[in-house]
């Protein structure tokens, strides 16, 4: 009996040791692969930090976007190319993501690849709300940017911005993710990734990638004060999960169809909760109503508090605006509101938000 227990003890110890060795080797292999991506060996067998592999993976898919300007007085003469910004090839089918503000005034668009090829770009659709446009080019063996929609960037991640600043040619800048936002259709700067990687004029529409060369955002803007340019280390990129969703809608419909209710609201603060006899601080207080909108037709009123939307609790303004935007126009939904301390259910037919193209 003692021999049996001894053998069992040693067997468990050996199995545990083998498992731990396997885990160690696996982790070492994964870390080794990551280190190989970040470090480059020198001739003297030392290693130095480098993002060259990430750049080689992503940069070929980042294109330069030009406008073909034709002199109307001599329309038969060849036109001159004027630099507009950057874009990212998202698929082998030739779909290119860029910013709406990059191409909105272009009469004819030329997309230039890093291998020297040039293509005429056709606008598939645009969404001014998120400042995104999709172009289509026709070509073979197009480079496509690496993509992983399940890997979300975190504050502190190192990122690289790739684009064509000031039409100087493709340039790489490096920084970190300074802040992250949401991924909702209601849009706004709160949705964006903030980074201190330099995004200058011409970088717009280019790629923001991680240290593996995987696309995490579409560069869009630099923070400006008054008439100043950028240079404050506060730059913005549209998160790829939102950009990819918008791209799909633009390819399908040529535009993004958003629901709307025709009201503005504010979060519930303690003072208003007491005044309006609310049980807690959740919900959205209606502050203003469009007289011709769905909210007015449903007889909603200022100071009504929306606490549920289509059976889902409403914690605040951002969530509610996203849910409304994601609801197809013409859909009837039921909301729960509190008015003068009493709870009511209200049916509302969602309208369509009109995008302003300017």
Kindly report, residue by residue over 94-109, the tens digit of the pLDDT: 999 999 999 988 888 9
Mean pLDDT of the region 317-321: 90
Q: Which residue has the higher pLDDT, 231 or 305?
A: 305
Q: Which residue has the higher pLDDT, 192 or 338?
A: 338
Instruction: Give residue 75's pLDDT.
Output: 53
* Residue 279, pLDDT above cutoff 70: yes
Instruction: Give residue 202's pLDDT.
Output: 83
Q: Which residue has the higher pLDDT, 91 or 278?
A: 91
| DSSP secondary structure letters along 217-285 | EEEEEE---TT--S-SS-EEEEEHHHHHHHHHHHHHHSS---EE-SEEEEE--HHHHHHTT-SSS-SEE
Q: Which residue has the higher pLDDT, 18 or 58?
A: 58
The percent of residues in the chain predicted with pLDDT above 90, rounded, is: 54
- The band of 221, judged by pLDDT with boundaries at 50, 70 and 90, is confident
Q: Among the options 67, 86, 126, 204, which is catalytic? A: 204
DSSP designation for 194: E
The percent of residues in the chain predicted with pLDDT above 70, rounded, is: 77
- CB distance 324 to 339 below 8 Å: no
- CB distance 174 to 159 below 8 Å: yes
* Residue 239, pLDDT above cutoff 50: yes
- CB distance 168 to 189 below 8 Å: no
Q: Which residue has the higher pLDDT, 103 or 49?
A: 103
- The band of 68, judged by pLDDT with boundaries at 50, 70 and 90, is confident
Which positions ≥6 away from 73 have C-beta within 8 Å? none
Instruction: Give residue 266's pLDDT.
Output: 93
DSSP H or E run through 326 = helix 317-326
Most confident of 65-79, 216-230, 242-256: 242-256
Q: Among the options 67, 86, 127, 131, which is catalytic? A: 131
- The band of 31, judged by pLDDT with boundaries at 50, 70 and 90, is very low
Can you tell me the distance from the alpha carbon of 87 to that of 218, in angstroms, rounded to the nearest whole number? 8
Mean pLDDT of the region 238-257: 92
Say which range, 47-51, 142-146, 217-221, 230-234, has the weakest mean pLDDT.
Answer: 230-234
Instruction: Give residue 228's pLDDT.
Output: 52
Other CB atoms within a 10 A radius of the CB of residue 344 amount to 12
* Residue 23, pLDDT above cutoff 80: no
Indicate if 204 belongs to the active site.
Answer: yes
DSSP H or E run through 6 = helix 2-38
Query: Tokens at residue 239, please?
Result: 């998160």
**Over the stretch 149-185, which tens digit does the pLDDT of each residue have?**
988 889 999 999 999 888 788 899 999 999 887 555 5
State the chain's mean pLDDT as an integer. 83
- The band of 2, judged by pLDDT with boundaries at 50, 70 and 90, is low
3-state DSSP helix/strand/coil % of the chain, to nearest 5: 25, 35, 40
* Residue 46, pLDDT above cutoff 80: no
Instruction: Give residue 18's pLDDT.
Output: 62
- The band of 199, judged by pLDDT with boundaries at 50, 70 and 90, is confident
Instruction: Give residue 79's pLDDT.
Output: 59
């Amino acid at each position: 009996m003692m021999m049996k227990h001894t053998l069992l003890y040693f067997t468990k110890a050996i199995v545990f040791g083998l498992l731990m060795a396997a885990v160690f080797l696996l982790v070492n292999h994964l870390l080794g692969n990551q280190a190989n991506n970040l470090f480059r060996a020198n001739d003297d067998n030392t290693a130095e930090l480098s993002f060259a592999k990430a750049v080689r993976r992503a940069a070929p898919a980042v294109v330069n976007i030009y406008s073909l300007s034709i002199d109307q007085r001599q329309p038969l003469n060849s036109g001159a190319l004027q630099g507009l910004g950057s874009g990212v090839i998202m698929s082998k089918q030739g779909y290119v993501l860029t910013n709406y503000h990059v191409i909105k005034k272009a009469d004819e668009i030329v997309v230039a690849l890093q291998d020297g090829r040039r293509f005429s770009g056709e606008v598939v659709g645009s969404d001014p709300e998120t400042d995104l446009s999709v172009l289509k080019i026709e070509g073979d063996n197009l480079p496509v940017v690496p993509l992983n929609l399940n890997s979300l960037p975190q504050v502190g991640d190192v990122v690289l911005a790739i684009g064509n600043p000031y039409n100087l040619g493709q340039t790489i800048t490096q920084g970190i993710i300074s802040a992250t936002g949401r991924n909702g259709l209601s849009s706004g700067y709160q949705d964006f990734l903030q980074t201190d990687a330099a995004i200058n004029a011409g970088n717009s529409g280019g790629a923001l990638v991680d240290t593996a060369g995987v696309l995490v955002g579409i560069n869009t803007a630099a923070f400006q004060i008054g008439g100043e340019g950028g240079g404050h280390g506060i730059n913005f990129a549209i998160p790829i999960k939102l950009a990819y969703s918008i791209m799909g809608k633009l390819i399908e419909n040529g535009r993004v169809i958003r629901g709307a209710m025709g009201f503005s609201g504010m979060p519930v603060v303690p003072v208003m909760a007491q005044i309006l006899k609310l049980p807690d601080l959740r919900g959205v207080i209606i502050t203003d109503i469009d007289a011709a909108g769905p909210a007015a037709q449903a007889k909603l009123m200022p100071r009504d508090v929306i606490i549920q939307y289509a059976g889902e609790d409403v914690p605040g303004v951002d969530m509610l605006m996203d849910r409304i935007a994601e609801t197809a126009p013409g859909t009837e939904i039921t909301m729960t509101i509190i008015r003068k301390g009493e709870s009511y259910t209200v049916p509302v037919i969602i309208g369509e938000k009109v995008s302003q193209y300017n």
